[in-house]
Structure 1
Amino acid sequence: MGSSDGVIRVLITDDHPVMRDGLRAAIAQEADMEVVGEAADGAEAIERYRALQPDVTLIDLQMPNVDGLEAIQAIRADYPQAVMVVLTTFPGDARVTRAMKLGAISYLLKSACRDEILRAVRAAAAGRHVVAAEAAQNIANHLGSESLTLRELSVLRLVAEGKSNREVAEALSISEDTVKARMKSLMAKLNAEDRTHAVTIAIRRGFMDS
């Protein structure tokens, strides 16, 4: 994959200008790749991808307006061949799994060194997967563990806001007994000791944003 002269065309998507600047500077030093465009959020990423159709897209997950997962899904729906490399601060296993299911070919952490990121771009352009060791370890640690259901997550998100069982029940138009049952189920799945612990684990594993 690449342009006719063998240069890998890269689209950078990140809402932090400093991160974009660093990636652009690193890629500019490489003879076999070039930055053809940048985007500051997921909506812009979708628009820029359609206009540029790069060989590889470096994309963050947590961005304003449209997040990275939504952008990956939208781009891959129209361009199944799109090569997406996730570059994020979150190693949570749930996020990794969702990104990969949506078609991301690689998953790197922003703490990765410059050479690791460049190698991942080249690998992605060649169709090879790269997953950060920390993220891979998280997946291995929770392999076979159950995922939280959307109903369980809807309860946990409100609990994370400090709402009581009664307030959660009112917000979701369900009974307090149902709230308690969902909390009991998700706490068992997360091996959590209490409500606060459940929220902390869910954020760390990528089920929820902090």
Structure 2
Amino acid sequence: MKQIRVLLIEDHFLARMALHSVLSGHAQIEIVGEASDGEAGVAMYRKLKPDVAVVDLRLPRISGFDVIAMLKREFSNARMVVLSNYHGSEDIYRAVQNGAMAYLTKDASGEELLNAIQNVHRGLRYLPHVALDRLAERMPAVELTPRETEVLSCITKGFSNREIADELGIAEKTVRIHVSAVLDKMGARDRTQATIFALQRGLVHLD
């Protein structure tokens, strides 16, 4: 089994040691580096290019929010898991908007953290129900038709218009009309943002 190379970006020494202890005990995880502030975390990521970074949000020098945004701009395939003491809807929203693929609070179990890392490594989002519920509180209701909901589900799976047409048995031109309507109703600028909003609002659910 190929190991997942993980970078820890956490300013509290004891928390970092606890993370190291929990994760390094799993055969699939290799801790390749540890950083105690945001600036060092960004530099270490550039040097090591880990498969997954576990990032705290409240970091010295550069905040975790900015670390995530900077790395996502520089490395479009950067995969990051947030592990934070904070579980307010705005923290979760900002982290996901900036590019985090998972959000856990620090009372999460080691098994849940491992599960999040494994999912994110596979390119999947990992947002526990409590995080999705918090996000839903801050988002206005969106009413989609049954067909638009089907199209949105396909969008979240990364399907192209042609693939959506084949999946739903409709014309590609019709798909384009539905996609445009979905983005407009959700206030999303593109498919990626629509996917994030869909998960936040509970319009689709991760398997």
TM-score by length of 2: 0.66
Cα deviations by residue, 1:81-136 (Å, 9 ceiling, x for unpaired): 11010100111111111111111111110110110001111111011111133222
| Number of corresponding residues | 141
Q: Which amino acid is 1:113 matched to?
A: S
1:145-164 correspondence runs (5 A): none
Mapped to 1, the partners of 2:68 and 2:99 lie a distance apart of: 7
Per the alignment, in what secondary structure is the counterpart of residue 131 of structure 1?
coil
Mapped to 2, the partners of 1:84 and 1:91 lie a distance apart of: 17
Q: Which amino acid is 2:93 matched to?
A: T
1:113 is the counterpart of 2:106: no
Stretches of structure 2 that go unaligned for 5 or more consecutive residues are 142-207
2:41 paired residue number:
45
1:99 paired residue number:
95
Partner residue of 1:20 out of 16, 19, 23: 16
- The RMSD of aligned alpha carbons is 1.3
Partner residue of 2:128 out of 128, 132, 140: 132
Q: Which amino acid is 2:90 matched to?
A: A
Per the alignment, in what secondary structure is the counterpart of residue 53 of structure 2?
strand
The structure with more radius of gyration: 1
Mapped to 1, the partners of 2:18 and 2:24 lie a distance apart of: 10
Partner residue of 1:143 out of 139, 148, 161: 139
1:72 paired residue number:
68
Q: Is the 8 A contact 1:56 1:83 kept in 2?
A: yes
1:89 paired residue number:
85
Mapped to 1, the partners of 2:112 and 2:21 lie a distance apart of: 15
TM-score by length of 1: 0.65
2:5 paired residue number:
9
1:184 paired residue number:
none
Q: Which amino acid is 1:125 matched to?
A: H
Q: Is the 8 A contact 1:12 1:39 kept in 2?
A: yes
Mapped to 2, the partners of 1:89 and 1:132 lie a distance apart of: 15
